[in-house]
Chain A
């Protein structure tokens, strides 16, 4: 498996296999995608395909899509989906679009893997980097991950964000800062939170610049990057304004993410907390929660300065836990990046435990949701308890990966400590 030769035939086989699997489920089990679309684990208020349909209907009838307070997604998705033939009459085009987006994400992931950035960045080269998986394996792990497949089948619009983030990273590692900035702007435009990935991404771009036209000054480079993002975002906002005819989309899309006005349950930690809260404390805790989420960015970027891709991966993992509206697609994105660190897996200590916890939570989550909503014999605490377990599993994975990466760095600094037992404080 390690570094196996990849022929064009195998590449095509992987993509065709993944596409056929998705297409077969779409066509042979037509009930399943609709079932998945309704699941709270897949569709959050800001990514739901059903809500997109509602917005699209309003948009096509020349009503503001944000009337009625159901649609909370970016306005530019509407012209994209209204270009496709109607979902009710010809769903196949929507299926093909989603399958294509997944394949594009896998392609970007492949490029990230093949760049070798995970094992040796500009400032740090891991002594274990020889042991890694090829892009083929990593793309296959992404494409056949049940969470990725379920997200694709549930037609959650988070696949577009995932695709944009992966492309931003892929552009960054291949030395195309401008492309990376455009891609991250698209991701931020679609779902706001990827904007927090900007600091490590800028560092990654800075480290991987092509030598012939490199900008020496880091400050100058960062300023160029930030102004590129600002420019692209401004253009996107202007286009959205032209499409919807008002700035109403700002509070309905980003406002909802910032203020958590829709308390539909999801796999995250916010909804239950804010259901229980008295209104007078709401704004304070909103600020605290957002501050908490964004505080990781600075710390991780500085601490793991020598490996910006690690910082990006860990922040994606933290997003999957602490975002206001997380879904399993965020977990899938994080799990897509983790195999890049095949070389530090021997240093990880809780792989079995975290995998088992995540699997347990995956099984028990739907069962408890069923007991709460359908059987009526459970209550909201059941589901919230299992989301705690789910996030515990994910945070174990994040912590473990962080530990392994830091230990890898540490062993380079202090070769005499290789193989010694240490304790994490």
Chain B
């Protein structure tokens, strides 16, 4: 053992060991990415299973149907009358209908300001008190008047009303059922959940006059399509990339697929052949959505409060009718009604590949951690390097050391830390500026601001490096460059590994975009310099945003920025912070 230690110590001093880290960190990135692509294989993903026994999905007969069809048609008639009316008028009309079912109702006003706009409205909600419960627990049924694409929920609202009327007739509920009707899919549910948990800002969102118990689960109905449908799309992404408990999704898949014969689709994969490409596509779409961290439906706001929630969205042309959809909801509610404790058995961190296959955090986290580790490895290597004498002087001095034995200290050379620390700290704190500006600018100013920022982002790094080489009284040494890079890579690695535990996909995406930062170094030849500059600028946050907008082409830059600002103000999304951080990193090279 001592011998091994001694040889390890000798190895530590070997200058060749410093040649390894760049290859090692490249290996980390490659393995990390390859890992990700292995996940959809059968050997690495697992079949889903229900771990909470109390759920018993699909074990009950569902009776929704028959004369409820007529009730549904009547409600639908009423709702169709209301299309185009104002929020208050709609609620004035709907409230007596819900009251007529014998339920307690209440309303809630909210106003949010973001990107120079006001988002205001009024939520209407009703509580069905459980015949067998004590109002300590509740399940929520959400139906928004508009979905995220601003289509009117023509069938969802009447279906929710019919379901509530039907639920009222049963005496088996042991949890209260709350029906929430919101004017939109993002701000309304957010205001309602915030107020339900007393986490709202009373100047913008009014408090709830009527409350029930702890929310155990929520299902949002997004049924804008007319006519019969073929399958149901389950949307499960929450704000900031949080996900509902996998048991909830499994139960719905089980109920819809096993009992009703309705297939489920995930992540807008309208066709899925269970093969490798489709699995990979589902997973990557899921990761992208998780990474963006935006609200994807009325259910998203519930998840941060540890209320497991999904949105159900019928789609396609098939032979399933509204009653089938109603029975899916009924079955799911019966399962949730069985719960003895909060859903906790199954996974909260997972990537779904198809409705019945997933990978859990233990399997996929290493890939993001490897990407984050590459930065830390490089940071350590650069630190060690910066402590050694300059490259040219190594070989003669080491010879001398052998002869004289005592001239050089085994400890590393002294490092001048002041300038590197200052530069890194300053650049890190600069990231507050774009974050503040983009979130507080009115919508019209967003595009010019974006252009300015893109320009600055391109110009600042060369300006800064010019400043560093010319201005200071004492010239900056290569060691100091190494230290600047070392510190910023260390911080990057640190933030990414922290982020990976909170939002795996965001960490992975950011990590991959920032990967070249590990390898750039001061180049001598102008060609290499230009290539590196172009690459870094192409991967800068502004360029990536622009590329994303061009690729998907559904909205323009302003739209994206507005949505980000809205998400910041309404839902407390923090992904913009990360983008700002990344912008800063680039400048340090």
Contact = CB atoms under 8 A, between A and B. Distances in A.
Contacts of A1: 418
Contact of B411 (A349, A356, A360, A368): A349
A346 B498 contact: no
Find the residue from B5, B418, B497, B501 having the highest chain A CB count within 10 A: B501
A419 B410 CA distance: 6
A370 B502 contact: yes
Contact of A371 (B342, B491, B501): B501
Contacts of A371: 501-502
A346 B414 contact: yes
B410 A421 contact: yes
A363 B348 contact: no
Find the residue from A370, A374, A375, A420 having the highest chain B CB count within 10 A: A375
A364 B410 contact: no
Contact of A360 (B380, B410, B497): B497
A418 B306 contact: no
B490 A377 contact: no
B344 interface: yes
A364 B406 contact: no
Find the residue from A349, A360, A418 having the highest chain B CB count within 10 A: A360
A29 to B, nearest CB: 12
A207 B491 CA distance: 44
B344 A376 contact: yes
Interface string A401-425: 0000000000000000011110100
Nearest to A370: B502
B380 A377 contact: no
Contacts of B342: 376
A418 B379 CA distance: 30
A347 B490 contact: no
A418 B405 CA distance: 10
B306 A364 contact: no
A360 B372 CA distance: 12
A110 B349 CA distance: 50
Interface size class of chain A, counting residues whose CB lies under 8 Å from the partner chain: 20 to 34
B9 interface: yes
A109 B283 CA distance: 56
B407 interface: yes
Contact of A352 (B5, B380, B497): B380
Given A349-B411, A371-B501, A377 B406 contact: no
A176 B111 CA distance: 64
A419 B406 CA distance: 6
Given A346-B414, A352-B380, A423-B5, A364 B497 contact: yes
Contacts of A348: 411
B349 A421 contact: no
A359 interface: yes
Contact of B383 (A349, A352, A359, A375): A352
A367 interface: yes
Interface string A17-39: 00000000000000000000000
Contacts of A421: 9, 410
Interface string A363-386: 110011011001111000000000
B490 A419 contact: no
Given A367-B498, A371-B501, A419 B407 contact: yes
B494 A360 contact: yes
Given A360-B494, A363-B494, A376 B306 contact: yes
A359 B410 contact: no
B469 interface: no
Given A352-B380, A376-B306, A364 B408 contact: no
A32 B437 CA distance: 21
Nearest to B347: A377
Interface size class of chain B, counting residues whose CB lies under 8 Å from the partner chain: 20 to 34
A248 to B, nearest CB: 35
A346 B415 CA distance: 10
A286 B407 CA distance: 51
A423 B376 CA distance: 27
Nearest to B344: A376
Nearest to A352: B383
B242 interface: yes
A401 to B, nearest CB: 14
A138 B122 CA distance: 57
B495 A374 contact: no
Contacts of A359: 490-491, 494
Contacts of B407: 419
B554 interface: no
A411 B235 CA distance: 68
A375 B498 contact: no
Contact of B501 (A367, A374, A419, A420): A367
Interface string A217-236: 00000000000000000000
Nearest to A1: B418
Contacts of B376: 356
A159 to B, nearest CB: 25
A368 B348 CA distance: 14
B203 interface: no
Interface string B261-291: 0000000000000000000000000000000
B409 interface: yes
Nearest to B416: A1
A376 B348 contact: yes
Nearest to B499: A367
B490 A356 contact: yes
Nearest to A367: B498
A374 B383 contact: no
Contacts of A360: 494, 497
Given A359-B494, A367-B501, A377-B348, A418 B5 contact: no
Interface in B393-439: 405-411, 414, 418
Interface string B458-491: 0000000000000000000000000000000011
A367 B502 contact: yes
Given A346-B414, A421-B410, A377 B494 contact: no
Given A346-B411, A419-B409, A375 B348 contact: yes
A143 to B, nearest CB: 16
Nearest to A131: B414
A360 B408 CA distance: 33
Contacts of A420: 405-406, 410
Interface in A122-178: none
Interface string A320-349: 000000000000000000000000001111
Interface string A181-222: 000000000000000000000000000000000000000000
A377 B410 contact: no
Contact of A347 (B344, B405, B411): B411
Contacts of B405: 419-420
A374 B306 contact: yes
A377 B414 contact: no
A119 B414 CA distance: 19
A347 B408 CA distance: 13
Interface string B485-525: 00000110011011001100000000000000000000000
Contacts of A419: 405-410
B348 A346 contact: no
Given A1-B418, A356-B379, A376-B342, 20 more contacts: A346-B411, A347-B411, A352-B380, A356-B494, A359-B490, A363-B495, A364-B498, A367-B501, A367-B502, A368-B501, A371-B501, A374-B306, A375-B304, A377-B242, A419-B406, A419-B410, A420-B405, A420-B406, A420-B410, A423-B5
21 contacts: A346-B414, A356-B376, A356-B379, A356-B490, A359-B491, A360-B497, A363-B494, A363-B495, A363-B497, A363-B498, A364-B498, A367-B498, A375-B304, A376-B342, A418-B406, A419-B405, A419-B410, A420-B410, A421-B410, A423-B5, A423-B9
Interface of A: 1, 346-349, 352, 356, 359-360, 363-364, 367-368, 370-371, 374-377, 418-421, 423
Q: Name the 4 nearest CB pairs between A and B, nearest first.
A: A377-B348, A363-B498, A376-B306, A421-B410
